[in-house]
Amino acid sequence: MHRLFAALLLIIVLPACADTASSPWRAPLAQNHPLVGRIWLTGPGRFVDETDLATHLSEADFVLLGERHDNPDHHRLQTWALTQIVAAGRRPVVAFEMISPEQAPALQRHLQDHPGDVAGLAEALDWQHGNWPDWLFYQPLFAVAIQANLPLRAANLPQGTLRTIVRGQPLPVETQRFYRLDQALAPALVTAMAEEIRQSHCRQLPERAIAPMVDVQRARDAAMAHAMADDTPNGGLLIAGAGHTRTDRGVPMQLAALAPRRTIFSLAFVEVADEQTDPAAYGEAFGAPELPFDAIWFTPRASDDDPCAEMINFMKKKTEKEQAGEKNKE
């Protein structure tokens, strides 16, 4: 039964979404880098092939697939990973960082009213008005999940909770407990997360905003963990940015608290750097002495554009506007 289903998936889904790293890469930069297409298992510090990786994926209760959102190869390989898990007979919940709780009712209505209609999900989720890359990046992944009749879950933080935390306002005690914000973190971990927030926002955030943003990160990680662990006897798979899937903090830490007896496997898709051919050295890009994932799959780069240029320009215009407003008051 499982082999027949896997064959059907390959026929129906994967012609539009290549199934292995040997297929042509879609990200254009550094395709000939020696690490591209290779899979590094961080614990033993060795390369493995796709068959070995598929075994690790199918045996774990929870699988976390960490992406760079704008890299099409990361989504292609996520689809491959989910296909392997389904082919092994697993039926995990599939949780998406890209779907908020506010969108969950529309998601479920669409699945009920239009079973099998993958393309229509984009309109149901109002994808074009979100902040995520092109729907076509994600559509094959949704297609595998829907074809396998897997439960789909919203995994992001509710907007109301997000706004409350950002504003530094107190949350109800039960909400703090649910997102584990009542648990003190080790000072070193707080420091590391604060620095990650500064860097990811191109050091454009005022310092007073850093602590609330650390709490937002913690709450989002907890929300993703709950989406996978709550009432999910068949385990779960998470689609999220790689920052959320790192094993030294993020969703794995939250999952370990929620489901301490269940196994976790975090696979990150990592873009290669031109001069870096030592896989272990890529931990530096994550501000860690070692790679904070169970495995990484190296891919070409989608872009070399400066990710901070647009944010710096936006913050500059915002400051100028605020200063102009102050002058007008005088």
* 295 backbone dihedrals φ, ψ, rounded to 5°: -155, 155
CA distance 32 to 73: 15
302-313: per-residue pLDDT in tens?
Answer: 998 887 887 777
CA distance 81 to 83: 5
CA distance 295 to 25: 20
pLDDT bracket for residue 231 (50, 70, 90): confident
32-46: per-residue pLDDT in tens?
Answer: 999 999 999 999 999
Burial profile 159-176: b = 16 or more Cβ within 10 angstroms, e = fewer: eebbebbeeeeebeeebb
Local structure of 105: helix, strand or coil: helix
Q: H or E element: which one contains 154?
A: strand 152-154
Mean pLDDT, rounded, for 203-216: 94
Q: Comparing 326 with 174, which gets the higher pLDDT?
A: 174
**Closest alpha carbon to 266 in 49, 69, 56:** 56
**What does DSSP assign to residue 153?**
E
Give the number of other CB atoms < 10 A from CB of residue 261: 6
CA distance 94 to 283: 27
Find all residues with CB under 8 Å of 183, minimum gap 6, and list them.
none
In the chain, what are the domain boundaries? 34-157+232-303
Predicted structure pTM score: 0.88
CA distance 207 to 199: 12
- Per-residue pLDDT, 318: 62
- Per-residue pLDDT, 234: 94
pLDDT score of 326 more than 70: no
CATH match for 34-157+232-303 among 3.30.200.20, 1.10.10.10, 3.40.50.11550, 3.40.50.10800: 3.40.50.11550
277-298: per-residue pLDDT in tens?
Answer: 999 999 999 988 899 999 999 9
Poorest-confidence range of 13-17, 72-76, 156-160, 257-261? 13-17
